[in-house]
Structure 1
């Protein structure tokens, strides 16, 4: 039996042993793309069978999930939410998450815990540059090494970056601001760098993982900004793409999970969170999806592009408190000045 089969088998055993005898439905709002595929194929069927429950998985990006929590705050549809750390911090501060029960946080890295245990990190990613290795080789171009490579005139019309309401786009602007004398508390240099340096090369500010992949596969884009798990998933298809940790630093993105606060939090929601933080599922998310584990006892034999080991120690952390305070205004400004 290979390692992936063993991991899946142990998940089944774990879930059967901790079965929540409940009937009904659990609604999970979470990531699309490769993460959704892994959760649907490797995790949900076992959880449903062990807990006698139907899981409805609603895919969307983190800002979509947060927006739905805000819109439905009087009558929440979701039982569990999966989001990036920035939106999750906002969700916790707004009271949308309930305390997690049944999880031993001492088994997780300290950085995984959110205030009052109302959410937990799920996996660690890095934000950086991806490029088409074949096109670069054909043109005799050296691999990119810096965020400033996004401004290089030879990439005119061939760069793809997510918009600012997407975590990867936001972190791009933050890094450009830091590199030009600003930062989270002074984002102006970041906007200036985008508008007067990067924008001239941008083919599209693309939020959709599927469309981002398509733009690379069709050769329209050769350089972009994305996360390690997304690039790893594209590379695993055989497409000639690689990930670069820029010299100025690669911002950390931590995927996170929480049981949604309701008058009565479903025991199945707590069981789902506990399962996602188990060593067995953490191993699946690492080996199948490129999410560096937040559990201390999970070892990754082939980390690939993920920020594991020394790479994790070198990641740039950002001030989410300041970012969340200004993010709505920044998004409006982005729409008005960049994607007008």
Structure 2
């Protein structure tokens, strides 16, 4: 059983219920401004524009501009604008968010404004409440079930299965410049007895898989490669796979035997944001139970707020809080310390091999 299709009207009704209480009337200083939100593209952008932004604009009497890009793209923009920020809210993967915190790009949340912080699970609470996780996801394997069945290929259960010669020219690998590529490297490292503390086995494993790659994607959204037949497998996120499946494409997400990696999407107020007060309210809006439920329904994000109830069929498709406990926790301090060197090595050994 698949979740019932959601119309814009259904989502609007859901968000109207929480938006009135989540956002008070705008202050005079905020009213004429435009809240700028920088976040993920693809299914995330679609969901936010359809089911989050319209009602927030209506209840707050403001305008919201959404700028799509990967987490690394967003942080690069924040760094470039550090002297005069133009972005108010940043949606960033947890690992890259740690880098942004260290660079002083993000501001602490105000618990008086973000009252829903108290209901967020521990996994999604961040040090000093500089940002907060608003959805749970996982990095694993995505594959075209129809292609695999027609060609007698068994379902991939581990990362090494993507090295199958029958996938030559049919695999899209994510670049290490975005989270899914980094996840692939760390999954491969574990296979060889390594980890983020010992990454050499990861490069050895990725080299074997990369031989099948038709390209290395930097956008974090490989849906077009699947739709156009250029890819039949990739390392990707569960929510994005479910969004593609919802459109009728024969794709499935697999939690690899080596262990899927947790991926927490964080929402952050930019340090010295032009509309800081409004940005705090936007963060609180994303943590409303109704918002959490609506985002799960619209783009399969696992809730980070306690007590959110989902339809059983939907709950089976998202990364629930029970499953999150089984995901591998990563040492982001070590990862971020070495990421630049890993990127250089990846460019030399993987993408130019």
- What is the TM-score of this pair, normalised by structure 2? 0.91
1:9 aligned to which of 5, 13, 16:
16
Q: Take 1:240 and 1:140, find their aligned partners in 2: how far apart are those partners?
A: 15
Change (3 A) 1:277 1:207: same
Equivalent positions of 1:115-130 (< 5 A) are 115-130=127-142
What do the CA deviations read for 1:284-311 (whole angstroms, capped 9, x no partner)?
1111111100001212212243211432
Q: Is the 8 A contact 1:83 1:257 kept in 2?
A: yes
Q: CA RMSD in A?
A: 1.8
Q: Is the 8 A contact 1:125 1:306 kept in 2?
A: yes
- SS, match of residue 218 in structure 2: coil
Shift in Å at residue 160 of structure 1? 1.2
Shift in Å at residue 31 of structure 1? 0.9
Q: Take 1:144 and 1:34, find their aligned partners in 2: how far apart are those partners?
A: 24
Shift in Å at residue 221 of structure 1? 1.4
Q: Take 1:218 and 1:51, find their aligned partners in 2: how far apart are those partners?
A: 40
Equivalent positions of 1:67-78 (< 5 A) are 67-78=76-87
Which one is further off, 51-60 or 255-264?
Answer: 255-264
Q: Is the 8 A contact 1:126 1:306 kept in 2?
A: no
- 2:218 corresponds to which residue? 207
Q: Take 1:296 and 1:263, find their aligned partners in 2: how far apart are those partners?
A: 29
Q: Take 1:12 and 1:310, find their aligned partners in 2: how far apart are those partners?
A: 28
Q: Is the 8 A contact 1:81 1:259 kept in 2?
A: yes
Shift in Å at residue 14 of structure 1? 2.9
Shift in Å at residue 106 of structure 1? 2.5
Which one is further off, 212-221 or 254-263?
Answer: 212-221
Q: Take 1:213 and 1:68, find their aligned partners in 2: how far apart are those partners?
A: 25
- 2:4 corresponds to which residue? none
Equivalent positions of 1:1-340 (< 5 A) are 4=11, 6-15=13-22, 18-21=24-27, 22-23=30-31, 24-101=33-110, 102-104=113-115, 105-195=117-207, 197-209=208-220, 212-262=222-272, 266-301=276-311, 302-340=314-352
Q: Is the 8 A contact 2:302 2:321 kept in 1?
A: no
Q: Take 2:340 and 2:310, find their aligned partners in 1: how far apart are those partners?
A: 37
Shift in Å at residue 207 of structure 1? 2.1
Change (3 A) 1:165 1:209: closer
What do the CA deviations read for 1:205-226 (whole angstroms, capped 9, x no partner)?
112355x222212222111110
Which one is further off, 67-76 or 225-234?
Answer: 67-76
Q: Take 1:50 and 1:263, find their aligned partners in 2: how far apart are those partners?
A: 21
Q: Is the 8 A contact 1:20 1:271 kept in 2?
A: no
Which one is further off, 255-264 or 292-301?
Answer: 255-264
Shift in Å at residue 264 of structure 1? 7.0
Q: Is the 8 A contact 2:89 2:270 kept in 1?
A: yes
Q: Is the 8 A contact 1:11 1:46 kept in 2?
A: no
Q: Take 1:193 and 1:298, find their aligned partners in 2: how far apart are those partners?
A: 39
Shift in Å at residue 3 of structure 1? 6.5
Shift in Å at residue 35 of structure 1? 0.8
Q: Take 2:69 and 2:316, find their aligned partners in 1: how far apart are those partners?
A: 26
The count of residues paired between Structure 1 and Structure 2 equals: 337
- SS, match of residue 268 in structure 2: strand
Q: Take 1:240 and 1:34, find their aligned partners in 2: how far apart are those partners?
A: 17
Which one is further off, 260-269 or 44-53?
Answer: 260-269
